[in-house]
Amino acid sequence: MASGYATRTLLKNTWYLSSSGFKYGYVFLDSTRISDVGEGEPLPEYELADLLYDFNGDAVVFHGYSLILDVVEYVFRGLQGVDLSVFTREELKKLANVGLVNSYINGVTLPIAMTKHPEIVVDVARENMMRVGLVVERGTVAGNPFTVLLEVDEGRLYHGDRVIGEYSKLICKPSRVNNECSIIDARGYGNVLTAIEEVFAHTGNPDQSLRILTSTYRVTGIDSGFVDKESTSDLLVHDVKNPLKTIPLTMQENLYQIAVRSQQPDMVFIGGDIFYDHGENIAIPVVKIHELIKRKALMNTG
């Protein structure tokens, strides 16, 4: 889970996508926010960070994504007729933890749940100190520091007291993205990366796609959705030393192509903590659930 204490991290000699385009230099994280970004060399005191990563020009840093995903229901995505009432509250939390791990290892740093079990999402968000979005009927769920409430009332979507827009226009499937869509509904996809790739393919415009994939951060006022100073420390790092990602980083089009290829990021930071590092889940402990699923499946068929 997230550490809960202030971690200072320096990412240097890396490309990053700011609101004014790709830059080459450094990104300095101070706990939950990006304290500084810049081209060239970082300040000497930044070198004293708790964590320092020198990518030697072989990495690209993007802001993390936000999509509506299966969280509690992740294990059963795409299946019909599943009865979750046979699971206890603690068992549902185990399932939700798996759903959260699936989200962030695929670059979704602000997953949004639409579920019949919002209380489970609230619990696992708090226990893992990870911010999670919830789409719920207005007034049905109490807010807390780890949930971003998107409330539905009379066809409108609210965040706090502010109307974001019409629910039916703001939320769309990956294959139906448009200029009015702000939140991608990727529930039911077998693979989150497939949904992300579909967004890039449908728009044919990587800049537009990235803006859509990060738009929840903007519409809720969290940050700009880019790697900017004062943005939240929710970041994806693609390391092109990984032979599966090797690409010459000599043109801006190539930098965008890292995102367009929709591959799993090599590192994921959420709130300044590293949740995923080159294939290793190091934040949310998950337990084996296959025996639990088999046992409950027998109850459903018995």
The DSSP code for 185 is E
Q: Determine, yes or no, domain membership for 105.
A: yes
Q: Determine, yes or no, domain membership for 143.
A: yes
Question: Do the beta carbons of residue 286 and residue 95 sit within 8 Å?
Answer: no
Q: For position 211, what pLDDT does the model report?
A: 96
Dist CA 77 CA 96 (whole Å):
12
Q: For position 124, what pLDDT does the model report?
A: 94
Residues making up the chain, counted from first to last = 302
Chain segment 7-42, per-residue pLDDT in tens: 899 999 999 999 999 999 999 999 999 999 999 999
Q: For position 300, what pLDDT does the model report?
A: 59
Q: Determine, yes or no, domain membership for 278.
A: no
Chain segment 176-225, per-residue pLDDT in tens: 998 889 899 999 999 999 999 999 999 999 999 999 999 999 999 999 99
CA 278 to chain centre: 17
Q: Determine, yes or no, domain membership for 72.
A: yes
Q: For position 220, what pLDDT does the model report?
A: 95
Q: Determine, yes or no, domain membership for 100.
A: yes
Q: Determine, yes or no, domain membership for 107.
A: yes
Question: Do the beta carbons of residue 183 and residue 216 sit within 8 Å?
Answer: yes
Count of the separate structural domains present in the chain: 1
Q: Determine, yes or no, domain membership for 93.
A: yes
Which of 294 and 260 is assigned the larger pLDDT?
Answer: 260
Contacts of 112 (CB under 8 A, 6+ apart): 66, 67, 68, 69, 132, 133, 134, 135, 148, 150, 183, 216
Residue-averaged pLDDT of the chain? 92
Strands 8-18 and 235-239: unpaired
Contacts of 90 (CB under 8 A, 6+ apart): none
The range of the structural domain enclosing residue 122 comes to 67-218
Q: Determine, yes or no, domain membership for 290.
A: no
Chain segment 76-87, per-residue pLDDT in tens: 988 888 889 889
